[in-house]
Amino acid sequence: AQKVTQAQTEISVVEKEDVTLDCVYETRDTTYYLFWYKQPPSGELVFLIRRNSFDEQNEISGRYSWNFQKSTSSFNFTITASQVVDSAVYFCALVYDRGSTLGRLYFGRGTQLTVWP
Amino acid sequence: DAGVTQSPTHLIKTRGQQVTLRCSPKSGHDTVSWYQQALGQGPQFIFQYYEEEERQRGNFPDRFSGHQFPNYSSELNVNALLLGDSALYLCASSLQYQETQYFGPGTRLLVL
């Protein structure tokens, strides 16, 4: 079974602080992909980052960075120098790859991030 | 490059009625997935369509049905609406064999 857990329900920070969003996943599959999506109040889910299960190299993209550790089944996401516009609900998600079919996304319950000016 | 579009943006129905939601995928995408997001929850997978066929289905009753057209656009139909069907319905598109799904703005359905 696939499961994604985001233990942090809400996080509040002041602008320019760094913030890390935690994600822990469960899967028996060896090939899978992990994602972070952002959902502003408008409701649209915006794709942010993707990592496949064979690539544990951590990367930085602008103010975003992520830490993928298979040993602890974690895929944490960090925003550096947060801004008010970063306020949104952030979802971690997983999709497994079985043969030629890529299917459903399994989402966590989301973390509400509020950045105060 | 047009992204995923959905219509209508908002909808109010009463219990027992039927509703049809529509989705046009991102240009070049051939696979459409539908998700239901209740307030304060993560999106839950309803089903996925590719080549006009339902390829995968989540844990939703048969009241939820769908269709994909030759131009890859899709419809989600819900019959005999219940109060619990009130949610944000999200459509996502992707390319077959590609893992990233791109979402539309959603349709907010309220069942009274």
pLDDT tens per residue, range A91-101: 999 998 765 55
Q: Which residues face B51 on adjacent strands?
A: none
Q: Which residues contact A62 (CB under 8 A, 6 or more apart)?
A: none
pLDDT tens digits, B57-80: 999 999 999 999 999 999 999 999
Q: Which residues contact A57 (CB under 8 A, 6 or more apart)?
A: none
Give me the pLDDT at residue B93, please: 95
* Half-sphere exposure in the Cβ direction for A9 (13 Å, CA): 2
Interface test with B, best of A8, A32, A45 (most B CBs within 10 A): A45
Q: Are A67 and A26 a contacting pair, CB within 8 Å?
A: no
Cross-chain residue pair A52–B99, CB shorter than 8 Å: yes
> Based on C-alpha coordinates, what's the Rg of chain B?
13
Integer distance in angstroms from the first to the last C-alpha of chain B?
37
Chain A 84-103, residues with CB within 8 Å of chain B CB atoms: 91, 93, 95, 97, 100-103
Tokens of B100: 């990233």
Of the candidates B42, B100, B106, which has its C-beta nearest A91's C-beta? B42
- Lowest-confidence range among A54-58, B2-6, B104-108? A54-58
> Based on C-alpha coordinates, what's the Rg of chain A?
14
Cross-chain residue pair B100–A45, CB shorter than 8 Å: no
Would the pLDDT of B44 be above 80?
yes
- Lowest-confidence range among A55-69, B58-72, B88-102? A55-69
Give me the pLDDT at residue A28, please: 87
Mean pLDDT value across chain B? 95
Would the pLDDT of B29 be above 70?
yes
Cross-chain residue pair B103–A50, CB shorter than 8 Å: no
Instruction: State whether the Cα torsion A39-A40-A44-A48 is positive or negative.
Output: negative
Q: With bands split at pLDDT 50, 70 and 90, how would you rate the model's confidence at A61?
A: confident
Residues of A in contact with B108 (CB under 8 A): 43
Interstrand relation of B10-13 and B107-111 (parallel, antiparallel or unpaired): parallel
What is the spatial distance between Cα A30 and Cα A19, in angstroms, rounded to a whole number?
30
Give me the pLDDT at residue B3, please: 93
In chain B, whose CA is at the least distance from the CA of A6?
B42
User: Residue A81 burial by CB count (10 A; 0-12/13-18/19+): exposed, middle or buried?
Assistant: exposed
Q: With bands split at pLDDT 50, 70 and 90, how would you rate the model's confidence at A14?
A: very high
* Mean pLDDT, rounded, for A82-86: 97
CA nearest to B66, candidates B102, B93, B34:
B34
Of the candidates A47, A101, A110, which has its C-beta nearest B100's C-beta? A47
The amino acid present at A41, given as its one-letter code, is: P
